[in-house]
Structure 1
Amino acid sequence: MSYNGLKVAFLHPRLEGGGAERVSLTTARLFSKWGIHSTFIGSKHNPNEFVLPEGFNAEIYCLPNQETFYTEDNKAALIDYLAEQNIRIAFACYMEGQFFEDWRKYSSCKLVYWNHSKPFWEMSYRLELGELQAKYSIKKWIEWNLLGYKGKTRNSEQYQRLKEEHLRDIHLFDKYIVLCPEYKAEIAKALSLTEEEKRKVISMTNTIEIEAAPNLNKRKEIVYVGRLSLAPKRFDRLLNVWREIQDKLPDWELKFYGAGPDEWIFHKLVRKYRLKRIHLCGYETDLKRIYNDAAIICMTSSFEGWPMVLVEAQSSGVVPISFDCCAGVESIIGASQCAGRLVKPFDLKAYADTLLELCQNDTLRHNLQQACLTKRLDYAPDINDDRWKKLFDELLISDNCHENSGK
């Protein structure tokens, strides 16, 4: 089947420089080679972070209400725009069920949900956010520990309600994309999916543009790349680790790239722990510049989906170390730790010992660097070609059948 002239859309609440947005850009670049036109739709666009490459078969459309994506005026504008532009497939990269449920009543556009996190991440996030807020606020501590908020968040009713929402979403969308086969298996088991429902769920590996000849002569730099929010990124764990090993690594520096609502906690902990050779470098749009110099990238999150910073770092010969917090991270680094280092969650001493070994053992780091350059081929843009074509064929054939049956 030819896809020349097909129009698709990627829906993001905000068009910024996050991992999900970078995946959409890489995917649209692939689609462009097949003659597919992509439109990126969001309520707000940050032109400094989200930039379309020149000659790209794509455009950006901002919805009228820039405060939040999920409003009635944005819904109406979105329905009209998709119809006017004859966009036949939309990829929703964030979820608000009622918004899309209402939309389905008025739009014939095929709808695909692209889950960029691990299944049922909401429960993990709510629990961690509650614990952390209680740690830094007396009011939140009282609410969490004395007024029963902790028990309400942990109870089985919450989890059951979340499972019901996920099952509703699988029925609501034409296809449901997850980031690795393990996530599909987890969803299928938790929701007791039928064979027909399982066929809606597709595993699609996130891809990157492979750098031809990355610099392998690295500086003694350890980097953290991500949002400065405690839940779920937990940058405070890395600060604790650095406190334990900084005096043993006098030639090494630790650099943080990112911004976020908990930056004040970062500065507070740096002062409290009297940390040395640590730099907060702010948000950086040119990640290749970071990875050109860095030797090691650290991740200390409580959970992730398929962290693009690890994949992009590997592609530049930067060795990753992370807690073994989800199937996505394990898949990237390898269960045998062939392309990085995995640490038992959330053992700070084991993390510190592993990071110290990576810094001090040049041979180990060099061998892992070479393994990363091999592993990055698993993320080449064309690895999903057959999956994408199968998805398009199924959606467009069913769309044509529906149109013909209505004549």
Structure 2
Amino acid sequence: MKIRYLMLHAYGMGGTIRTVVNQANAMAAAGHDVELVSLVRRRETPQFGLDPRISITTLVDQRDGRQQDSIGRRAWRRVRGKMVPRGEFAADYFTERVEWAAMEYVSKLRDGVLVTTRPALNLIAARRASKSVVRVAQEHMNLSAYPDSIRREIARYYDRFDAITVLTRTNRLEYQRLLPSTAIVQIPNAVHKVDQERSQQVNPVVIAAGRLVPQKGFDLLIPAFAQVVSEHPEWRLRIFGTGPRKSQLAGLVEQHGLGAHVSMPGRTDRLEKELTDASVYALSSRFEGLPMVMIEAMTHALPVAAFDCPTGPKDVLTDGVDGVLVPPRDVDALAAALNRLIADRELRVRMGRQAAKTSRAYAPELVMPLWEDLFSELLQGERVVDNFWSSR
């Protein structure tokens, strides 16, 4: 079958990009004709490895900088509001030129499967793609995390899709309530692999990873770790990632006197080794879709201390079994959870063993066939009913 994945920036970094690339690689390995379509391009080469059988297409090349749009800023605001609402997290990417490139591309398709991977692209496909194309919208974030402007557009246009895929049971129920006549399919993202080197629980290191943005809550994790250091001064926190909040977070580290205890090394291409060398994973997000780095940490037998934020952590973790869940944004509770794990190596080993067991449900060999089955059913004109994945 012909499968096209339309992404905002296939050459970038991030959890969504990685999971879509993994899915495309799996479909190519299964013998399908796969094309990865990058709406914009700002780097020379993809950051994640692509199967050589996958073709990659760029719609707007921005390696030499953003080109000026043909209409003025004030006029553009009116155009953008018609297709990509301001509440979309990547709305700033969608200049007139970029938005029209996306519309032109999807409107010309006449066959195969088109998979779009974020609300802006989903809305464009819903409104412009031909019904002769099987249209699948991927949602990597929970519905309640979007502002009203996005939820209104989702309610208005998403019923045009042949299927909407979501990551968790909570997401599925949210979308079913909003779109009762539309096929909502729960398929989680798959980890890269589940047979990873396991932590030996010997290094006094807590690890976290993600974009340095408010969503990830590192501004909550740092003061929580200040409480940890007061009881366990030999422990260190390492936060991997890049983003616009780096200077603010660095200021917070200095404010709490944690310069010798908290480091932010930036992006790393050896995260698997860093996870193996750590002893606890901390998830401090204000909201999530499905926290893939957390699950990857679990493949390394790391227990997790996490906010029970919407959505994802509770869909994966069992409190007291493979991790510790605490109320959202409760800094004191997160500090207590970290202290509990840090103080008891036997508990960390036991929870880490269970975490590795839990993570096996997200193995590529279990998840990827679900995508192949879904695409096949839709191409054959079958209606998808109550098609969802279960980790238990």
Match of 1:14 in 2: 9
Q: Deviations over 1:55-109 (max 9, x none)?
A: 543132221253476456556655776799986212111112653345225x843
Structure 1: where are the runs of 5+ without partners?
Answer: 1-5, 124-158, 400-407
Using structure 1 for the length normalisation, give the TM-score.
0.78
Asked whether the 8 Å contact 2:322–2:352 carries over to 1, the reply is yes
Asked whether the 8 Å contact 1:235–1:300 carries over to 2, the reply is yes
Q: Deviations over 1:95-135 (max 9, x none)?
A: 12653345225x84322111001113123xxxxxxxxxxxx
Asked whether the 8 Å contact 2:172–2:186 carries over to 1, the reply is yes
1:344 pairs with one of 300, 309, 327: 327
Match of 1:172 in 2: 160
Worse-superposed segment, 80-89 or 35-44: 80-89
Q: Deviations over 1:292-348 (max 9, x none)?
A: 2111111111111101110111111222211001241112212x4421111112221
Using structure 2 for the length normalisation, give the TM-score.
0.81
Q: Distance in 1 between matches of 2:196 and 2:379?
A: 39
- Determine whether 1:315 maps to 2:310: no
Q: Distance in 1 between matches of 2:196 and 2:48?
A: 24
Q: Distance in 2 between matches of 1:341 and 1:46?
A: 39
Q: Distance in 1 between matches of 2:123 and 2:133?
A: 17
Match of 1:103 in 2: 128
Partner-residue secondary structure (3-state), 2:119:
coil
Worse-superposed segment, 29-38 or 93-102: 93-102
Q: How many pairs are equivalent?
A: 349
Report the RMSD for the aligned CA atoms in angstroms: 2.6
Asked whether the 8 Å contact 2:116–2:125 carries over to 1, the reply is no
Match of 1:332 in 2: 316
Q: Distance in 1 between matches of 2:36 and 2:265?
A: 29
- Are the structure 2 counterparts of residues 241 and 114 from structure 1 closer, same or farther at C-alpha, using a change threshold of 3 Å? same
Instruction: Choose 1 or 2 for highest CA Rg.
Output: 1
Q: Deviations over 1:262-282 (max 9, x none)?
A: 111112111211113211101
> What amino acid sits opposite 1:352 in the alignment?
A
Q: Distance in 2 between matches of 1:47 and 1:293?
A: 32
Larger % of helix: which?
1
- Are the structure 2 counterparts of residues 23 and 98 from structure 1 closer, same or farther at C-alpha, using a change threshold of 3 Å? closer
Match of 1:252 in 2: 235
Match of 1:263 in 2: 246
| Identical columns (%) | 23
Superposed, which structure 2 residues align to 1:8-407 within 5 Å? Answer: 8-15=3-10, 16-42=12-38, 43-46=40-43, 50-53=47-50, 55-66=51-62, 67=66, 70=94, 73-74=97-98, 77=101, 88-96=112-120, 99-104=124-129, 108-123=132-147, 159=148, 162-189=150-177, 191=178, 193-194=179-180, 196-197=181-182, 200-218=183-201, 219-230=203-214, 232-275=215-258, 276-334=260-318, 336-385=319-368, 387-398=370-381
Asked whether the 8 Å contact 2:137–2:161 carries over to 1, the reply is yes
Asked whether the 8 Å contact 2:205–2:278 carries over to 1, the reply is yes
Asked whether the 8 Å contact 1:49–1:285 carries over to 2, the reply is no
Asked whether the 8 Å contact 2:283–2:306 carries over to 1, the reply is yes
> What amino acid sits opposite 1:274 in the alignment?
G
Asked whether the 8 Å contact 2:110–2:132 carries over to 1, the reply is no
Q: Distance in 1 between matches of 2:369 and 2:188?
A: 12
- Are the structure 2 counterparts of residues 345 and 319 from structure 1 closer, same or farther at C-alpha, using a change threshold of 3 Å? same
The CA deviation at 1:45 is 4.7
The CA deviation at 1:289 is 2.2
